Amino acid sequence: MKPAWDKLMTEFSGHATALVGDVDCTTAGKPLCDSNGVKGFPTIKYGDPSDLQDYKGGRDFDSLKKFADANLKPTCSPKNLDLCDDAKKAEIVALQGSSKEELSAKIKEEEKKLTEAEETFKAEVAKLQSRYEELQKQKDATIAAVKASGLGLMKSVAASM
């Protein structure tokens, strides 16, 4: 993927409204990666810097370029209200009418929901892993018991008849 990404960065170099770049999450870029939920590499994010979204498309140059051409442009935001539909403008205006403390509390509340969803997911996966291991042991014990009961010998005798 690296050659395709490097080619895309070259294509967008000096672009007026879009930035295609990379961050080394193992060195100085680690805090940026941590604050944006980057857990695996390579991870591709796009969108407003304060609300980055996960890219889930192809990793070849043509797929990346097609996505970038269609999506890396100014979008509806507090800085680009002229690009918003009426409903989104109203939502932004309402949020702008909140105090910084109110908005921070709302953000914290929504981020808590994300954290809880992640914790629930991890806990349930751990339960599934435990159940999987239990079933694997049961299967292995059944296979061992069947083999010990003489299945192989029975098959040999049946084949010789």
- Tens of pLDDT along 75-86? 888 988 999 999
State pTM to two decimals. Answer: 0.57
Are 57 and 1 spatial neighbours (Cβ–Cβ below 8 Å)?
no
Alpha-carbon distances of 119 from 16, 108, 123, rounded to whole Å: 40, 16, 6
- Topology of the domain comprising 2-74: Glutaredoxin (3.40.30)
So what's the pLDDT on residue 112? Answer: 95
How are beta strands 53-54 and 45-46 bridged, if at all?
antiparallel
List the alpha helices (DSSP H) in the chain. Answer: 2-12, 30-35, 61-71, 86-96, 100-148, 151-160
Q: Which stretches of the chain drop beneath a pLDDT of 70?
A: none
In this structure, which amino acid lies at residue 18? A
So what's the pLDDT on residue 33? Answer: 86
Are 81 and 92 spatial neighbours (Cβ–Cβ below 8 Å)?
yes
Radius of gyration of the chain (CA): 27
The number of beta carbons lying within 10 Å of the beta carbon of residue 68 is 19
So what's the pLDDT on residue 40? Answer: 81
So what's the pLDDT on residue 110? Answer: 94
